[in-house]
A = this chain, B = another copy of it.
Amino acid sequence: MNRQIVLRRRPTELLRPGDTELVTSAAPEPADGEALVRNTYVGIDAAVRTWLNDQPGYLPPVQLGEVIRAAGIGEVVATRCDAYSVGDVVTTLSGFQEYVIVRDDVFTTPVREQAVDQLAVMSVYGPTGATAYFGMTTIGKPQPGETVVVSAAAGATGSVAGQIAKIAGARVVGIAGGPEKCRVVVEDFGFDACIDYKSDDVPAALKAHCPRGVDVYFDNVGGPILDAVLGRLAPKARVVLCGVISSYLTGEHPGPANYVNLLAKTALMQGFNSLDMWGQFDEAFADLRRWADEGRLVHRQTVYEGIESCVDALNGLFTGTNIGKMLVKVSEPSGSAV
């Protein structure tokens, strides 16, 4: 049987009962050229929430009645094609469900290593890590001695982005919500400081922590925090637009009045999508693995249990319950996986 979470009604802010439904149907049978994957982990990304709004993005909105779209990882349990063998570990757009059919295409390269750390593949060695890597290295380009600020610094992308800036020799200041997250950002992820946006005066704290201004800002949140950092830019600053989590729930985005500083400081602000760099992901993962092996890069995950917890996990991403990558464990990985 395949348990799936389908969209019944478009949510307005956080998902509420009735917005989704957990349905059970027979697990699909693979046809010729297909394989059946038992999902182990489903990734809970802010993008998932954007796909529930009736607004065009880089992917179309999820339609009512459809399984909620999400990235996942799993293991092939039945196959009718040459591309996949039983036991292969596969990353897919699995959705909020226990089983998914895959075809042989570029997004589902099977992993056949002896020991696959599926949690790591779903975070630092997946699109999340690639997003941090390419955003920081191709737009942010931190230089030794520069000051880098990262918002959502305890999150999956921010925690990696800040560590990459540290490796580049920059001074790195995080912004996160609450004392526990700020502690983790400094003690575990090695940032030089962390501003608690829930209790600190963010503009004043930025002034204190970034006396010479902000050379690179890696923005995951938008809203008033983006505006505050724009107000502290150093000359020739680079603002990496990675996400607008402050507005994903409501679709409303107050404009940052301090954008005029881009002109006064001859700075740039650039949006990006790591999928544009798909062909270079292996380079990114090679660097990230080397840094992790050298002990210079740590990654964390917050794991909810069971397909039925996907909605809670998605809401938790916006209420701030995760440190590192938010994932839902849908089934137990088999022997070789961690």
Which residues of A pack against B, CB within 8 Å? 57-58, 222, 227, 241-244, 247, 252-273, 276
Q: Would you call B269 and A262 a contact (CB within 8 A)?
A: yes
Minimal beta-carbon separation of A265 from chain B (angstroms): 7
Partner of A259, one of B259, B268, B273: B259
> Nearest residue in B to A270 (C-beta to C-beta)?
B268
Q: Would you call A259 and B266 a contact (CB within 8 A)?
A: no
Q: Would you call B257 and A253 a contact (CB within 8 A)?
A: yes
Closest 7 CB pairs of A and B: A255-B255, A263-B271, A268-B270, A255-B257, A262-B271, A255-B256, A241-B263
Q: Would you call A264 and B222 a contact (CB within 8 A)?
A: no
Copies of this polypeptide in the complex: 2
What are the residues of chain B within 8 A of A265 when measuring CB–CB?
271
Q: How distant is the Cα of A267 from the Cα of B239 in the complex, in angstroms?
A: 12
Partner of A270, one of B241, B253, B255, B262: B262
Known: A255-B256, A256-B256. 9 other contacts (CB 8 A): A241-B259, A244-B263, A252-B257, A253-B257, A256-B259, A259-B259, A264-B271, A265-B271, A267-B270
Q: Would you call A260 and B227 a contact (CB within 8 A)?
A: no
> Nearest residue in B to A242 (C-beta to C-beta)?
B263
Q: How distant is the Cα of A324 from the Cα of B270 in the complex, in angstroms?
A: 31
Q: How distant is the Cα of A259 from the Cα of B268 in the complex, in angstroms?
A: 12
Partner of A269, one of B247, B266, B270, B276: B270
